[in-house]
Structure 1
Amino acid sequence: MKEFFSIEGPFMQFFGKLWDIILLSVVFCVCSIPIITFGMNCIALYYTVVKVVLPGERHAVRTFLKMVPRNARQGLPLGILFEIIIAVLTYSLIVILHNDMGALGVFFGVVFVMLFMIVLVVMAYAFPMSARFENTIGEIVANSAFMALEHWKETTSLLILQAAFLVGMILIVYIPPIILILPGAIMWMQAKLLEPVFDSYLKEGGANHETETI
């Protein structure tokens, strides 16, 4: 029992990681107020979760803040790309829902919802991949699409996580404390799903000569 509650025991380890997730979630949300920085913040958050939170290391917030500017060159345009695509798809869906287009509206509604889901899945792979591998933006998007098809079980779970994140963002209006854990917890679960996938490519020598940057 004494070892259970010691600094290195599972009890303190759990609450240490929980505290890191809370701090990272708050800092992530503050840094993402300028919405164009969302992409590079996601990359920095994934890196921090993998390198600090999962192994139980210290200085999670310091690591995150250090990685944000380092990821600006690639994370900024990648994030803006996804934001533009999502904005266009969302606007298209709103137009369809507010116009009585009959069967044609149903058809295009289904098409845009499917496209929206595809974008969410590719995005779920792309930001972690940017933290894990050194590639061009085009290669990241292409490899993300490939992995999404190749690892369909993980992709299904990632899609559920993305949906949970979107629902959580809506619920923040009604239950503000959700913001204290949502981003960090979602990224922690993504890392649990994606790290075995990424490690399998590293063991094989990497797809498309990918180079690990972590």
Structure 2
Amino acid sequence: MGKFFNLDNPIMNFISKLSDTLWLNILWLVTSLPIVTIGPATAALYHVTLNMADDRSVCLTADYFKGFKENFKKGTALGLVLTGLGIILGIDGYVFLRMKFVNPIWTLGFAAFIPISVLFLVVCIYAFPLQAMFDNTLKALLKNALLIGIRYLFCTISLVIIHVSIFYIAINYFTPLIFLGEGLCAFLSSYLLRPLFVSLSEE
């Protein structure tokens, strides 16, 4: 029984890391509050969780703010670009759903809106972890996020399921799960992303 509660036990080690996501989520929420800093905050979150997934020793607060500082400039630019694109797509979606016209132009426009929105979601899923792991220009980062998301479709679907499932469960069944929120999403996602990124860096 004592061996089970030993932190060297893989299960207990995972549970210990899982509990750390509560503090990481608090740090992420606090540093994201100005909204414009949500980019470096998310990159900093993955900076820590990717190391956790690799079983590296981390100091949560110190490593988080180290990642926040290192990714502040590029992370802010990335966050603003994605936020701007998200707002545009949100307005387009609202217009398409509110103004339904039975004509070819509306049909073609709405048909194009759906895949563009999906591709935008793919970029959002990969962009911040890539920012935390690699040093790229903003243009290269967005391009790589899209290409990786399309190439590794199973991983992409799994990442979407992780995010959707956690927030669906938190909203509908177990509200306290919201306190783990994005921290938990990033932590679980990192177990899929870390080996993928290592493989890509060796190509």
For the criterion TM > 0.5, the same-fold answer is yes
1:52/1:59 contact within 8 Å kept: no
How much does 1:13 deviate?
A: 1.9
Counterpart position of 2:87: 87
Structure 1: unaligned runs, 5 residues or longer: 205-214
- Which residue is 1:149 aligned to? 150
Distance 1:195 1:11, change over 3 A: closer
Shift in alpha-carbon separation, 1:194–1:7, aligned structure 2, 3 A: closer
Aligned residue number for residue 122 of structure 2: 121
User: Is the CA contact (8 Å cut-off) linking 1:40 and 1:79 kept in structure 2?
Assistant: yes
CA positional deviation for 1:38: 1.3
Deviation at 1:192, TM superposition (A): 1.7
State the partner residue of 2:193: 194
Contact 1:124–1:162 (Cα < 8 Å) also in 2: no
Does the CA-based 8 Å contact 2:51-2:58 persist in structure 1?
Answer: no
Identity of counterpart residues, as a percentage? 27
| CA distances 1:80-114 after superposition (whole Å, capped 9, x unpaired) | 10000011001111112122323554543342232
Cα RMSD, aligned residues only: 2.5
Q: Distance in 1 between matches of 2:116 and 2:91?
A: 13
The structure-2 alpha-carbon separation of the partners of 1:15 and 1:197, relative to structure 1 and needing over 3 Å to count, comes to closer
CA contact (8 A) 1:74 1:137 kept: yes
* TM-score between the two structures when normalised by the length of structure 1: 0.82
Q: Are 1:182 and 2:150 counterparts? A: no
Q: Which whole-Å CA distance do the structure 2 matches of 1:42 and 1:185 have between them?
A: 12
Q: Residues 72 and 177 (structure 1 numbering): CA distance in 2 closer, same or farther, change over 3 Å?
A: same
Counterpart residue number, 2:139: 138
5+ residue gaps, structure 2 = none
Q: How does 1:1-214 map to 2 (within 5 A)?
A: 1-10=1-10, 12-52=12-52, 54-55=54-55, 57-103=57-103, 104-164=105-165, 171=171, 177-204=176-203
Please state how far the C-alpha of 1:165 moved relative to its aligned partner: 6.5
Aligned length: 202
Counterparts in 2 of 1:198 and 1:10: CA distance versus 1, 3 Å: closer
SS in 2 for 1:102: coil
Pair 179,96 (structure 1): closer, same or farther in 2 beyond 3 Å: same
How far the C-alpha of 1:132 sits from its partner, in A, is 1.0
Supply the distance in 1 between the matched residues of 2:54 and 2:6 (Cα, whole angstroms): 19
Contact 2:24 2:45 in 1 (8 A): yes
Q: CA 1:27/1:52 → structure 2, altered by over 3 Å: closer, same or farther?
A: same
Under a length normalisation based on structure 2, what TM-score does the superposition of the two structures give?
Answer: 0.86
CA distance in 1: counterparts of 2:168 and 2:108, whole angstroms = 25
